[in-house]
Protein backbone atom coordinates (compact mmCIF):
# COMPACT_ATOMS: atom_id res chain seq x y z
CA UNK A 1 0.00 0.00 0.00
CA UNK A 2 1.11 3.55 -0.78
CA UNK A 3 0.41 5.82 2.13
CA UNK A 4 0.74 9.58 1.74
CA UNK A 5 0.40 11.48 5.00
CA UNK A 6 -0.01 15.25 5.26
CA UNK A 7 2.37 15.97 2.43
CA UNK A 8 3.30 19.60 1.85
CA UNK A 9 5.76 20.62 -0.82
CA UNK A 10 7.03 23.85 -2.35
CA UNK A 11 9.62 24.52 -5.04
CA UNK A 12 10.23 27.98 -3.64
CA UNK A 13 8.36 29.40 -0.68
CA UNK A 14 4.78 28.98 -1.82
CA UNK A 15 3.40 25.44 -1.43
CA UNK A 16 2.39 23.69 -4.67
CA UNK A 17 0.93 20.82 -2.63
CA UNK A 18 -0.67 21.41 0.73
CA UNK A 19 -1.49 18.78 3.30
CA UNK A 20 -2.09 15.95 0.83
CA UNK A 21 -3.15 12.61 2.31
CA UNK A 22 -4.35 9.50 0.52
CA UNK A 23 -3.82 5.77 0.22
CA UNK A 24 -3.45 3.46 -2.74
CA UNK A 25 -3.89 -0.23 -2.09
CA UNK A 26 -1.94 -2.89 -3.96
CA UNK A 27 -3.24 -3.21 -7.49
CA UNK A 28 -5.40 -0.13 -7.21
CA UNK A 29 -5.58 2.41 -10.01
CA UNK A 30 -5.71 6.01 -8.78
CA UNK A 31 -6.20 8.92 -11.14
CA UNK A 32 -4.87 12.34 -10.19
CA UNK A 33 -6.75 15.00 -12.06
CA UNK A 34 -6.78 18.77 -12.03
CA UNK A 35 -6.27 21.73 -14.30
CA UNK A 36 -2.93 22.46 -15.86
CA UNK A 37 -0.62 23.80 -13.16
CA UNK A 38 -2.58 22.22 -10.32
CA UNK A 39 0.40 20.12 -9.25
CA UNK A 40 -0.25 16.69 -10.79
CA UNK A 41 3.27 16.27 -12.16
CA UNK A 42 4.77 17.68 -8.98
CA UNK A 43 2.84 15.15 -6.91
CA UNK A 44 4.15 12.24 -9.00
CA UNK A 45 7.73 13.53 -8.78
CA UNK A 46 7.44 13.91 -5.04
CA UNK A 47 6.01 10.38 -4.74
CA UNK A 48 8.99 9.14 -6.71
CA UNK A 49 11.40 10.77 -4.27
CA UNK A 50 12.66 13.38 -6.67
CA UNK A 51 12.24 16.18 -4.14
CA UNK A 52 12.39 16.56 -0.38
CA UNK A 53 9.11 17.28 1.35
CA UNK A 54 8.46 20.38 3.44
CA UNK A 55 6.25 18.29 5.67
CA UNK A 56 4.64 14.87 5.77
CA UNK A 57 5.55 11.29 4.90
CA UNK A 58 5.27 8.88 2.04
CA UNK A 59 5.38 5.13 2.61
CA UNK A 60 5.31 2.18 0.26
CA UNK A 61 4.45 -0.70 2.57
CA UNK A 62 6.89 -0.16 5.46
CA UNK A 63 9.47 1.72 3.51
CA UNK A 64 9.63 5.49 3.66
CA UNK A 65 10.12 7.21 0.32
CA UNK A 66 12.80 9.79 0.79
CA UNK A 67 14.06 12.67 -1.28
CA UNK A 68 17.57 13.50 -2.52
CA UNK A 69 18.65 14.82 0.86
CA UNK A 70 18.56 11.24 2.15
CA UNK A 71 19.18 9.24 -1.01
CA UNK A 72 22.21 9.29 -3.23
CA UNK A 73 20.27 7.76 -6.11
CA UNK A 74 16.75 8.90 -6.78
CA UNK A 75 14.12 6.17 -7.07
CA UNK A 76 13.45 2.70 -5.76
CA UNK A 77 13.43 -0.71 -7.43
CA UNK A 78 9.78 -1.36 -6.63
CA UNK A 79 8.65 1.88 -8.21
CA UNK A 80 8.79 3.17 -11.77
CA UNK A 81 7.95 6.59 -13.06
CA UNK A 82 7.19 7.65 -16.61
CA UNK A 83 7.62 11.40 -16.89
CA UNK A 84 5.64 13.70 -19.13
CA UNK A 85 8.91 14.30 -20.97
CA UNK A 86 10.29 10.76 -21.35
CA UNK A 87 13.99 10.32 -21.93
CA UNK A 88 15.02 7.39 -24.07
CA UNK A 89 18.27 6.42 -25.73
CA UNK A 90 17.78 7.69 -29.28
CA UNK A 91 20.53 5.80 -31.08
CA UNK A 92 19.52 2.26 -30.17
CA UNK A 93 16.43 0.32 -31.18
CA UNK A 94 13.08 0.10 -29.44
CA UNK A 95 13.87 -3.47 -28.40
CA UNK A 96 17.24 -2.46 -26.96
CA UNK A 97 15.74 0.45 -25.05
CA UNK A 98 13.30 -1.92 -23.34
CA UNK A 99 15.83 -4.70 -22.83
CA UNK A 100 18.37 -2.39 -21.25
CA UNK A 101 16.73 -2.92 -17.91
CA UNK A 102 16.56 -6.69 -18.17
CA UNK A 103 19.30 -9.07 -17.20
CA UNK A 104 21.53 -10.09 -20.09
CA UNK A 105 22.34 -13.34 -18.30
CA UNK A 106 19.03 -14.85 -19.37
CA UNK A 107 18.83 -14.08 -23.08
CA UNK A 108 15.79 -16.26 -23.69
CA UNK A 109 13.73 -14.75 -20.88
CA UNK A 110 14.86 -11.31 -21.92
CA UNK A 111 13.66 -11.90 -25.44
CA UNK A 112 10.30 -13.25 -24.28
CA UNK A 113 9.75 -10.43 -21.85
CA UNK A 114 10.64 -7.80 -24.45
CA UNK A 115 8.21 -9.39 -26.90
CA UNK A 116 5.46 -9.41 -24.28
CA UNK A 117 6.00 -5.72 -23.48
CA UNK A 118 6.15 -4.75 -27.15
CA UNK A 119 2.76 -6.36 -27.51
CA UNK A 120 1.31 -4.48 -24.54
CA UNK A 121 2.32 -1.13 -26.04
CA UNK A 122 1.51 -2.27 -29.58
CA UNK A 123 4.99 -1.71 -30.97
CA UNK A 124 5.95 -5.20 -32.11
CA UNK A 125 6.47 -4.00 -35.66
CA UNK A 126 8.96 -1.39 -34.48
CA UNK A 127 11.19 -3.66 -32.40
CA UNK A 128 14.21 -3.09 -34.64
CA UNK A 129 13.58 0.60 -35.29
CA UNK A 130 15.95 3.21 -33.86
CA UNK A 131 14.16 5.32 -31.28
CA UNK A 132 15.29 8.62 -32.79
CA UNK A 133 13.20 7.96 -35.88
CA UNK A 134 9.96 7.38 -33.93
CA UNK A 135 7.09 9.83 -33.50
CA UNK A 136 6.34 11.39 -30.12
CA UNK A 137 3.55 8.92 -29.46
CA UNK A 138 5.70 5.93 -30.34
CA UNK A 139 8.44 7.18 -28.03
CA UNK A 140 5.89 7.52 -25.27
CA UNK A 141 4.97 3.86 -25.76
CA UNK A 142 8.61 2.80 -25.57
CA UNK A 143 8.94 4.73 -22.30
CA UNK A 144 5.91 2.87 -20.94
CA UNK A 145 7.28 -0.52 -21.94
CA UNK A 146 10.66 0.31 -20.45
CA UNK A 147 9.07 1.25 -17.12
CA UNK A 148 7.28 -2.10 -17.08
CA UNK A 149 10.34 -4.13 -18.08
CA UNK A 150 11.44 -5.02 -14.57
CA UNK A 151 7.98 -5.49 -13.19
CA UNK A 152 7.50 -2.73 -10.61
CA UNK A 153 5.12 -3.00 -7.67
CA UNK A 154 3.91 0.53 -8.30
CA UNK A 155 4.04 2.70 -11.38
CA UNK A 156 3.58 6.46 -11.66
CA UNK A 157 2.39 7.64 -15.07
CA UNK A 158 2.28 11.28 -16.07
CA UNK A 159 -0.21 11.90 -18.89
CA UNK A 160 0.78 8.51 -20.34
CA UNK A 161 -1.15 8.77 -23.60
CA UNK A 162 -0.90 12.50 -24.23
CA UNK A 163 1.29 12.15 -27.33
CA UNK A 164 -0.60 9.23 -28.79
CA UNK A 165 -3.07 9.86 -31.59
CA UNK A 166 -6.75 9.07 -31.27
CA UNK A 167 -6.54 6.16 -33.70
CA UNK A 168 -4.36 4.21 -31.28
CA UNK A 169 -5.25 5.73 -27.93
CA UNK A 170 -8.29 3.67 -26.97
CA UNK A 171 -6.85 0.25 -27.62
CA UNK A 172 -3.49 1.12 -26.13
CA UNK A 173 -5.10 2.46 -22.98
CA UNK A 174 -7.09 -0.75 -22.54
CA UNK A 175 -4.01 -2.85 -23.19
CA UNK A 176 -1.79 -1.03 -20.68
CA UNK A 177 -4.37 -0.70 -17.90
CA UNK A 178 -5.48 -4.31 -18.33
CA UNK A 179 -1.86 -5.43 -18.08
CA UNK A 180 -1.34 -3.43 -14.86
CA UNK A 181 -4.51 -4.86 -13.28
CA UNK A 182 -3.62 -8.41 -14.25
CA UNK A 183 -0.17 -8.08 -12.71
CA UNK A 184 -1.64 -6.37 -9.64
CA UNK A 185 0.61 -3.35 -10.13
CA UNK A 186 -0.53 -0.26 -8.23
CA UNK A 187 -0.80 2.64 -10.60
CA UNK A 188 -1.07 6.37 -10.09
CA UNK A 189 -1.94 8.25 -13.25
CA UNK A 190 -1.84 12.03 -13.61
CA UNK A 191 -4.15 13.13 -16.38
CA UNK A 192 -6.59 15.75 -17.58
CA UNK A 193 -8.28 13.32 -19.96
CA UNK A 194 -11.45 11.68 -18.67
CA UNK A 195 -10.87 8.76 -21.02
CA UNK A 196 -7.85 7.81 -18.89
CA UNK A 197 -10.09 7.67 -15.84
CA UNK A 198 -13.54 6.35 -16.70
CA UNK A 199 -13.68 2.61 -16.88
CA UNK A 200 -10.19 2.25 -15.42
CA UNK A 201 -9.61 4.23 -12.22
CA UNK A 202 -10.80 2.90 -8.88
CA UNK A 203 -10.43 6.31 -7.30
CA UNK A 204 -10.15 9.79 -8.65
CA UNK A 205 -8.30 12.49 -6.74
CA UNK A 206 -9.08 16.05 -7.80
CA UNK A 207 -6.38 18.62 -7.09
CA UNK A 208 -7.49 22.21 -6.71
CA UNK A 209 -6.00 25.18 -4.86
CA UNK A 210 -2.99 23.03 -3.94
CA UNK A 211 -5.18 20.60 -2.03
CA UNK A 212 -7.21 17.48 -2.59
CA UNK A 213 -10.72 18.71 -3.41
CA UNK A 214 -12.20 15.21 -3.47
CA UNK A 215 -11.08 11.60 -3.54
CA UNK A 216 -13.75 9.12 -4.51
CA UNK A 217 -14.83 6.57 -7.12
CA UNK A 218 -15.31 8.20 -10.54
CA UNK A 219 -18.89 6.92 -10.71
CA UNK A 220 -19.78 8.52 -7.38
CA UNK A 221 -18.27 11.84 -8.43
CA UNK A 222 -19.94 11.70 -11.82
CA UNK A 223 -23.37 11.09 -10.31
CA UNK A 224 -22.97 13.78 -7.71
CA UNK A 225 -20.44 16.37 -8.87
CA UNK A 226 -20.16 18.70 -5.92
CA UNK A 227 -18.47 21.53 -7.78
CA UNK A 228 -18.38 22.90 -11.33
CA UNK A 229 -14.73 21.86 -11.51
CA UNK A 230 -15.65 18.21 -11.00
CA UNK A 231 -18.59 18.41 -13.42
CA UNK A 232 -16.44 20.03 -16.10
CA UNK A 233 -14.15 17.01 -16.05
CA UNK A 234 -17.04 14.78 -17.16
CA UNK A 235 -18.42 17.01 -19.89
CA UNK A 236 -20.59 20.01 -20.76
CA UNK A 237 -22.85 21.10 -17.94
CA UNK A 238 -25.10 23.94 -16.85
CA UNK A 239 -26.01 25.45 -13.54
CA UNK A 240 -29.78 25.68 -13.35
CA UNK A 241 -31.39 26.82 -10.13
CA UNK A 242 -28.02 26.41 -8.45
CA UNK A 243 -27.85 22.74 -9.46
CA UNK A 244 -25.35 21.14 -11.82
CA UNK A 245 -27.12 19.67 -14.83
CA UNK A 246 -25.15 17.85 -17.54
CA UNK A 247 -25.94 18.74 -21.15
CA UNK A 248 -27.32 15.26 -21.78
CA UNK A 249 -29.76 15.58 -18.88
CA UNK A 250 -31.73 18.27 -20.71
CA UNK A 251 -34.46 17.24 -23.09
CA UNK A 252 -36.52 19.19 -25.54
CA UNK A 253 -40.20 19.01 -24.54
CA UNK A 254 -43.38 20.59 -25.81
CA UNK A 255 -43.71 23.03 -22.99
CA UNK A 256 -41.90 23.85 -19.75
CA UNK A 257 -40.64 26.73 -17.66
CA UNK A 258 -37.23 26.54 -19.29
CA UNK A 259 -37.66 28.47 -22.51
CA UNK A 260 -34.47 28.88 -24.52
CA UNK A 261 -33.37 30.13 -27.92
CA UNK A 262 -30.98 28.09 -30.06
CA UNK A 263 -27.74 29.86 -30.95
CA UNK A 264 -25.59 27.13 -32.45
CA UNK A 265 -25.54 23.38 -33.18
CA UNK A 266 -22.34 21.34 -33.09
CA UNK A 267 -22.17 17.93 -34.73
CA UNK A 268 -20.73 15.45 -32.22
CA UNK A 269 -21.31 12.07 -33.85
CA UNK A 270 -24.26 10.32 -32.29
CA UNK A 271 -25.74 13.62 -31.07
CA UNK A 272 -25.62 17.39 -31.57
CA UNK A 273 -24.46 19.70 -28.83
CA UNK A 274 -26.80 22.67 -28.87
CA UNK A 275 -25.77 26.04 -27.54
CA UNK A 276 -28.80 28.05 -26.49
CA UNK A 277 -29.66 31.14 -24.53
CA UNK A 278 -31.80 31.04 -21.42
CA UNK A 279 -32.42 34.30 -19.53
CA UNK A 280 -29.43 35.88 -21.24
CA UNK A 281 -27.16 33.03 -20.16
CA UNK A 282 -25.57 30.35 -22.31
CA UNK A 283 -26.86 26.83 -21.86
CA UNK A 284 -25.83 23.54 -23.45
CA UNK A 285 -27.90 20.47 -24.16
CA UNK A 286 -27.68 17.42 -26.34
CA UNK A 287 -30.16 16.68 -29.10
CA UNK A 288 -30.55 13.94 -31.68
CA UNK A 289 -30.68 16.41 -34.56
CA UNK A 290 -29.47 19.78 -35.68
CA UNK A 291 -31.61 22.77 -34.60
CA UNK A 292 -31.92 26.00 -36.57
CA UNK A 293 -30.51 29.16 -35.08
CA UNK A 294 -33.12 31.27 -33.22
CA UNK A 295 -35.52 28.32 -32.80
CA UNK A 296 -37.37 28.64 -29.52
CA UNK A 297 -37.46 25.41 -27.53
CA UNK A 298 -38.54 24.22 -24.09
CA UNK A 299 -36.37 22.03 -21.94
CA UNK A 300 -36.91 19.66 -19.09
CA UNK A 301 -34.37 18.17 -16.73
CA UNK A 302 -34.23 14.39 -16.71
CA UNK A 303 -33.03 13.68 -13.21
CA UNK A 304 -32.58 9.97 -13.77
CA UNK A 305 -30.87 10.32 -17.08
CA UNK A 306 -27.34 10.25 -15.68
Residues near ligand ADP, by CB under 6 A:
11, 16, 34, 36-42
Give 187: exposed, middle or buried? Use CB within 10 Å, 0-12, 13-18, 19+: buried
138 is a site residue for Mg ion (CB under 5 A): no
Give 146: exposed, middle or buried? Use CB within 10 Å, 0-12, 13-18, 19+: buried
41 is a site residue for Mg ion (CB under 5 A): yes
Nearer to ligand ADP among residue 116 and residue 209 (C-beta):
209
140 is a site residue for Mg ion (CB under 5 A): no
Stretch that binds Mg ion, among 33-41, 64-72, 252-260, 298-306 (CB under 5 A): 33-41
Nearer to ligand ADP among residue 46 and residue 131 (C-beta):
46
Of residues 151, 193, 199, 159, the one with CA closest to residue 177? 199
* Partner whose footprint covers residue 16, from ligand ADP, Mg ion, none (CB < 5 to 8 Å by kind): ligand ADP
Nearer to Mg ion among residue 113 and residue 139 (C-beta):
139
Angle at 64 between CA 58 and CA 67, to 5 degrees: 75
Do the bridges between strand 272-278 and strand 281-287 make them parallel or antiparallel, or are there none, so unpaired? Answer: antiparallel
Query: In Å, how far are 22, 142, 169 from 267, measured between CA atoms?
Result: 40, 36, 22
186 is a site residue for Mg ion (CB under 5 A): no
Query: In Å, how far are 48, 49, 66, 74, 220 from 71, measured between CA atoms?
Result: 12, 9, 7, 6, 39
Nearer to ligand ADP among residue 20 and residue 94 (C-beta):
20
* Partner whose footprint covers residue 182, from ligand ADP, Mg ion, none (CB < 5 to 8 Å by kind): none
Question: At its nearest, how many Å lie between ligand ADP and the CB of residue 108?
Answer: 40
Nearer to Mg ion among residue 39 and residue 99 (C-beta):
39
Residues interacting with Mg ion, by CB under 5 A? 40-41
Amino acid sequence: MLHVKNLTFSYNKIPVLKDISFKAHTGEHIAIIGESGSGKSTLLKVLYGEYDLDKGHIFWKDEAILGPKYNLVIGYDFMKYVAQEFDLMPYITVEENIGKFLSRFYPEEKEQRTAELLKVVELTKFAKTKVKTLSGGQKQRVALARALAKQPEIILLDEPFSHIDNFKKQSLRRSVFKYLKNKNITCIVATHDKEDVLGFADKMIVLNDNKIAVNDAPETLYKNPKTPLIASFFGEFNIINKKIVYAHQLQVVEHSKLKATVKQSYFKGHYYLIEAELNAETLFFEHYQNLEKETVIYLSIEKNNL
